[in-house]
Structure 1
Amino acid sequence: MPIKCLIIDDEPLAIELVRQHVSHFPDMEVVATAENALEGFDLLNKHQIDLLFLDIQMPKLTGLQFLKALTNPPQVILTTAYREYALESYDLEVLDYLLKPISFERFLKAINKYYKLQDKPTNPVTPAPSSPLVNDHIYVNVNKKHHKVLFQDMLYAESLKDYVRIHTQDDSYTTKFKISDFMGLLPSHFIRVHRSYVVNTQKITAFTGLDVEIDSTEIPIGASYKEDVLASLKGGRE
């Protein structure tokens, strides 16, 4: 029987990242997702859930409040951008506490903890070229409509506080997501060049020590990113 997983998070892209990570484990299955705790409560009553991936900061009811209200919760892995809830979460006997953006390496450690509790051997995980982790696109939520955006079409993304605006050759999409979390969904040829900008290195047409150019658009290189950015670009890595 597959390990049945539920993901509760108010950010669709965060759900997508966890779903992608889960897809590498052949004995695990995401049976449902929810964007708030109340919807998640209903799904827990409808499905037999073995492992719950739970965000903390959500509207109306936080993940921790939700967890305290459950009488017989499944194993829980918390997923959050905030460190300060770690101590309280362990008092609730959660399995692990993952900080966003969640790398696959860190996710694997959390799943290994689950396997050990179940006395299951650790499954070898080797992402294949066709796996979702190295897929060619993402879906972004804009006004409740999910738009497919190919990585090869992305030029750069800019941070607008709690939103990200993704620029492509022909369009732009503004979606609710922190840029640091958004980075976790992108392939390795996307790099952070500034606290407010992520660029597709395959689209860079020129660069200096101060900025990168994508066609006629100049994007600044932040002082704290300069060394890594220039090393990456001059080294020819994408």
Structure 2
Amino acid sequence: MSENPSVRCLIVDDEPPAREIIRRYIEQLPSLELAGECGNALEAFSFLQRDSADLIFLDIRMPQLSGIDFLKSLKNRPKVIFTTAYTEYALHAYELDVVDYLVKPIPFERFLRAVDKAFGQMPVPAARPTIQPSAQPESFVYFRVDRKMVKVMLSELLYVESMKDYVRVFTTGGMLITKQSLSSVEAMLPETGFIRVHRSFIVSINGIRSFNAETIETAKAAIPIGKLYKNNVLKVLGGAV
């Protein structure tokens, strides 16, 4: 019995950090194979002239040729998932019948849902056996700051504070501000390492120095524990104070 081939994926994005995120996500799924990466739509057009892809992760705003115009130019279209920092192109995505529309920064869970939708429209490849490395690379997330994607190591992230449409991300090295909701940040972070302690705060469990029934102390600040979150916080932290 022959194995089903892996789904060949092409990443098209003019921002190297954004390509790196998708690349790392692809590497975590044995059923996906990275066919190539392109920094703009013209490179992607040339790639498809000489090679093939089953699924394209496609940015929209790129120099020379937008992702939308690139997609319209293709006669034989692979499955496409838009990956963009902008929400206003969702109608175009619907009209072009793309698989999904992912808004950056893209949580891994949201990436999985999009891939699952693509698999629902094509044969699901058999998982390939993989050799697990003895040491896993340190985890990190990216935040968009001043039109750049800034890498933050999870081991250095202390807490995140909501400021309406923005959040402040406090790390051992300083603070950065990004325009997104606290809920979207929460979806990006692993549940085992971070905890929502207040409607306005997420805290790194490893960064907690001390706590009581009302407050958590980190290296940078004292953070209040919200009434709705108190029972879960004390349960997770193993405290009865």
1:99-157 CA distance string (max 9 Å, x none): 5565545533432343344333564999x79797xx53327589999987543333224
How far apart are 1:5 and its partner, in Å? 1.8
How far apart are 1:67 and its partner, in Å? 2.9
For the structure 1 residues 8 and 190, does the alpha-carbon distance in structure 2 shift closer, same or farther, using more than 3 Å as the test? farther
Alpha-carbon RMSD across the aligned residues, in angstroms, is: 4.6
> % of aligned pairs identical?
37
TM-score, normalised relative to structure 2: 0.64
1:165-210 CA distance string (max 9 Å, x none): 4412xx2364867465554443222234567653202222234666
- Does 2:236 match 1:233? no
For the structure 1 residues 109 and 145, does the alpha-carbon distance in structure 2 shift closer, same or farther, using more than 3 Å as the test? closer
Equivalent position SS for 1:26: coil
Aligned to 1:187: 190
Aligned to 1:153: 156
Which runs of 5 or more residues in structure 1 are unaligned? none
TM-score, normalised relative to structure 1: 0.64
How far apart are 1:44 and its partner, in Å? 3.8
Equivalent position SS for 1:233: helix
The structure with the larger Rg is: 2
1:28-81 CA distance string (max 9 Å, x none): 22344456xxx2431341353321112446688654344334444421012356
Aligned to 1:43: 44
Equivalent position SS for 2:232: helix
Aligned to 2:139: 137
- How many residues are matched? 226
Which runs of 5 or more residues in structure 2 are unaligned? none
CA distance in structure 2 between the partners assigned to 1:109 and 1:232 by the alignment: 27
Equivalent position SS for 2:92: helix
Q: Superposed, which structure 2 residues align to 1:200-211 within 5 Å?
A: 200-207=204-211, 211=215
CA distance in structure 2 between the partners assigned to 1:87 and 1:144 by the alignment: 24
